[in-house]
Structure 1
Amino acid sequence: MGTVGINFGAASSGQGFDVASTVTAILASQKAIETPWTTQLASLQAQDTVFTTLGTDLSSLTTAMQALTDFSGVFSEKQGSSSNTDVLSLTSATTSATAGSHTILVNKLAQVSSEYSDTLASATDTLSGSLTIQGDTITIGSSNNTLATLASAINSANIGVNASVVTDSTGSRLSLVSTTSGSAGQLTISGALTDATTSTSIGFHTGQTGQDASLTVDGIALTSGSNTVTTAIPGVTFQLLSTSANPVQVQITNGTTDVSTAVSNIVTAYNAVIKDIKGQEANDSSGNPEPLFGSPTLSLLQNQLSSALISGAASGSISSITQLGIGFNQDGTLTLNGDTLNNALDNNFSDVTGFFQNASSFGQTFVTTLNNLGTQAPDGAIYLAQQQNSAEEAALNLSVSNEEALLATEQTNLTTELNTANQVLQSIPSQLNEVNELYSAVTGYNTGNGG
């Protein structure tokens, strides 16, 4: 430890010295012991930042892979099309649908049963009597004795009918529409409803008869109470829009578009990880090594990832990612040839699916590798590296904290001691004066006058 001088001028000047700056100068040399600790802490924290980025990008790569390895992922998706969307439109094709072609002939559309009343000249006329709908009787009283309040009472009764008041230039009518489509929703109306204002009986008329749709699917005659058909083709929902003497072709296909996107996402995510790794293999702009330069964890990631690309069992005709259009660049990144991928999906869809989803397949093996490399506890390579850094950082922080506590105690003691010394120095002139005065009193010699 170096020495620190105290500058206080002549002892008899009474000026003393700056205690605070002197204490700071003394402790600075002792505080230098913390420098290697703080330097190492900064290095570990810089590594933590890179590990976090690597962990995030590996997680993104895992998510991209899972879209293809998950049995309910993009490989299970289906797409559908109709040869005549004026007659039939596809609503959805779920994962339970099977790829194939179907012939559908629409003979009759489903209809909803409806009834309407005689026309009243005024919608505010007072009604009397009762009305029975679907076996439920509504008796007219003071709270439901107009068309509007009667319609409200019918709707509140929840008897499978939507009631409303329809008004045009001829007057107003009560409209009743079944809430159930097809023949099952056929309305039955009875009772004795009277316009008490005009003493006129009110009758009801059929607007539309409840009717089931009639269609044939692949030669099988079917009926449907709704024009939305969900059970004719497993996993497929379609809408009947009009009848036609000509059959409609419905095509259900595998969701190759989303599969292609998912494979592209894997290539992008993989390249992001490789660029993270490559970015640590040189010096920064200041010529200093990157935080993970020479890190064994970095080497482990690079070796395991490159090995995983050529691992996994074959699936039928597919045994390598190169058959899916994935190629290798000299810097370790990947490229994707979309035409090659689409050709594989069009001609060997089930084999491509197995390449990602079969036991010990490329896809399953790659996901296992990613889990072993990422931030998953307790064995992920990055997780373990982060844990080791955290332990080292905790030890270094404790050393710094302990040293700071020692320095704080020494600062207090030094300040007390130097304040005492400073007070002594500042009191010397007055002590000298006292000595001179005593000397003059004893000898008669006046030191102040020089003789």
Structure 2
Amino acid sequence: MGTVGLAFGSATSGQGFDVAATVTSIVSIRQGVETAWKDQLTALQSQDTVLSQVGTDLSTMYSALTSLTDFAGVMAQKQGSSSDNNILSLSSASSTATAGSHSVVVSSLAKTSSMYTSQLSSSATSITGSLTFQVGSGTAQTVDVASGSSLADYAKAINLAGIGVRASVITDSSGSRLSFVSQTSGAAGQLTITGSLSDNNGNSLTMNQGQTGSDAQLTVDGVAVTSSSNTVSGAIPGVSFQLVSADPSSTVQVVIANDNSSIETAFNAFVSAYNTVAKELAVQSKVVSGSTAPPLSGTSTLSMLQQSLSGALFGGTNTGSVKSIDQLGITVAKDGTLSFDATALESTLNNNFDDVVGFLQNSDSFGQNFKSVVDGLGSTSTKGVVYLAQQENTSKEKALNDSISNEDDRIADFKTRLTSQLTAANQILQSIPAQIDQIDKIYSALTGYNTKG
């Protein structure tokens, strides 16, 4: 520990010394014990910053892997096409669809039943009466015309009744009429309307058939299929398509294929996420002579992260013809990063798609093993390497902060006592000339001798 000297000149000068500066010098020496603690705290906080970023990037890699290893992920996605969108337009192909080609012939479209009344000269004309509506084989329901109702009023009443019929008023150059459209498409929605309506002059409104409800007729791979709607689901497992027009003489090819483009994008995302982590760890490993070592340099955490990740690239069980990541277009560079060749992956997907799925998703496969390794390294699992390192640092930081806080309290108390003691001593030093002068006066009075000559 250093020493502090007091500079106050001659003891009899009355000059004293600078109490504040002296206290500051002594206290700064006492505070030196905290320097090592604060240095440790700074080092741990630097580690925390790196660990937090590595944890975030491991989480990104885990998400990228999940897209490839989950059964309902990108490997299950399908894309489809129609050879004639003017007849049949593909709506969707779910993960349950199977890749392949299907032949579809559309003989007729589904139609929705509709009826309408004869027209009135004005839509505001009052009407009377009631109509009974039956949709297909459903229960017949009657809607009465309220007194003084117009066509629009009666249409509104029908719609509010919720009977499965949509009513509206159609107005053109010849007048206005009521239109009724079944809310159930196909043959099952055929409308039957009975009853009578008349205007305020007693003229009856006749009921006319608009369109007869009928099901769509088509064949899928030679199998006759009917659909009450022009949106067809289930005729091809996992596939939904829209019938646009009918042409019994044309065969439409519906092709369902694996979504290789999305798979390649997902692989690229995984490789990019891996390289981000690999480069971060490489920076922590590099010690430049004459420079401060990176925060994680020499730690067991860094060693475990690097060894586990690199080892996972060659872990897991082989599946069929796919035995290593290079068949997926992934190669390992000398610096530990990965490169990705989408063309190589495309070839493997086209030739051995099921084996690629198995390589990623089978129990103890490469994909499942790698996902487990990443989960065991990150900060989201309570057993993760990064998580445990962060918890250990938090514990150490608390102990150091407690030590610093306790020492600060002791130093503050010491500073108070020291200031009081040195202030008292300084007052004594400063009072010496006056005391000497008083002694001189007493001596002179007693002896008659003047010490000051």
Query: Do both proteins adopt the same fold according to a TM-score greater than 0.5, normalized to the shorter chain?
Result: yes
Compute the displacement of 1:436 (Å).
4.8
2:205 corresponds to: 202
**Structure 1 position 356, deviation (Å):** 0.7
Counterpart of 2:241? 238
CA contact (8 A) 1:15 1:426 kept: yes
Gap change, CA 1:285 and 1:272, over 3 Å in 2 = farther
Residue number among 399, 404, 409 corresponding to 1:405 in the alignment: 409
For residue 246 of structure 1, report the CA deviation from its aligned partner.
Answer: 0.7
TM-score by length of 2: 0.93
Q: 1:18 to 1:203 in 2, by over 3 A?
A: farther
Could you tell me which residue of structure 1 aligns to residue 418 of structure 2?
A: 414
2:130, 2:195 within 8 Å by CA — same for their partners in 1? yes
1:195 maps to a residue whose letter is D
- Report the equivalent of 1:140: 145
1:166 corresponds to which residue? 170
Q: Counterpart of 1:180 in 2: which secondary structure? A: coil
CA distance in 1: counterparts of 2:441 and 2:118, whole angstroms: 135
Gaps of 5+ in 2: 135-139
Deviation at 1:387, TM superposition (A): 2.4
2 CA distance for matches of 1:15 and 1:410? 25
8 A Cα contact 1:195 1:202, kept in partner: yes
Task: Look up the SS of the partner of 1:206 in the other structure.
Answer: strand
CA distances 1:244-279 after superposition (whole Å, capped 9, x unpaired): 121111111112221111111111111111101111
- For 1:415, the aligned partner's letter is T
Cα 1:146–1:3 shift into 2, 3 Å: same
Match of 1:225 among 224, 228, 242: 228
Alignment of 1:279-428 (within 5 A): 279-283=283-287, 287-428=291-432
Aligned-partner Cα distance in 2 for 1:377–1:8: 65
Query: Aligned to 1:415, what secondary structure does the other structure show?
Result: helix
**Paired letter, 1:409:** D
Amino acid at match of 2:123: A
Counterpart in the other structure of 1:156: 160
CA distance in 1, matches of 2:181, 2:331: 63
CA offset digits 1:293-339 (Å, max 9, x no partner):
22222222222222221122211111011111111211111111111
Counterpart CA distance in 1 for 2:416 and 2:35 is 22
Partners of 1:323 and 1:241 in 2: CA distance: 43
Pair 1:212–1:438, CA change in 2 (3 A): same
**For the residues of structure 1 that align with 2:174 and 2:17, how far apart are their CA atoms?**
111
Quick one: structure 1 residues 166 and 14, their matched pair in 2 at CA, closer, same or farther if it must change by over 3 Å?
Answer: farther
Q: Which residue of 2 aligns with 1:50?
A: 50
Partner SS state of residue 181, structure 1:
coil
What is the rounded CA distance, in whole Å, between the counterparts of 1:320 and 1:342 in structure 2? Answer: 15
Deviations 1:74-132 (A, max 9, x none): 11111111110000011011111111111111011011111222212111111212222
Is this contact kept in 1: 2:375–2:381, CA < 8 A? no
- TM-score, normalization by structure 1: 0.93
Query: Bigger CA drift: 102-111 or 285-294?
Result: 285-294
Q: Does 1:129 align with 2:132?
A: no
SS at match of 1:223: strand
What's the CA shift string for 1:228-255, capped at 9, x where partnerless?
0112111110000000121111111112
- Going from structure 1 to structure 2, the CA distance change for 1:183 and 1:443 (only over 3 Å counts) comes to same
Matching residue of 2:97: 97
Residue identity matched to 1:386: Q
Per the alignment, residue 25 of structure 1 pairs with: 25
Q: Indicate the SS of the match to 2:204.
A: strand
Moved more, 51-60 or 345-354: 51-60
Task: Indicate conservation of the 8 Å contact 2:328/2:345, yes or no.
Answer: yes
Partner of 2:116: 116
> Could you tell me how far apart the structure 2 residues matched to 1:219 and 1:66 are?
39
Identity, % of aligned positions: 52
Q: Which amino acid aligns with 2:236?
A: I
Shift of 1:167: 1.7
> What whole-Å deviation, never above 9, does each CA across 1:336-375 have from its counterpart, x for those lacking one?
1111110000010001111111122111111122222222
Letter in 2 for 1:137: T
Tell me which amino acid in the other structure corresponds to 1:204.
M
8 A Cα contact 2:59 2:380, kept in partner: no
Aligned length: 447
Q: CA deviation at 1:16?
A: 3.7
Q: Which residue is equivalent to 1:216?
A: 219
In 1, Cα distance between equivalents of 2:449 and 2:142: 138
1:128 aligned counterpart, secondary structure: strand
Q: Give the CA RMSD over aligned residues.
A: 2.0
Q: Distance in 2 between matches of 1:146 and 1:306?
A: 80
Q: 1:186 aligns with which of 155, 175, 190?
A: 190
- 1:377 and 1:272 map into 2 onto residues whose CA distance is 20
- Aligned-residue offset at 1:284: 6.2
* SS of equivalent to 1:373: coil
TM-fit CA distance, 1:13? 5.1
SS of 1:59's equivalent?
helix
Query: Cα distance, 1:58 vs. partner?
Result: 1.6
In the TM superposition, residue 388 of structure 1 has moved relative to its aligned partner by 2.3
CA distance in 2, matches of 1:416, 1:203: 114
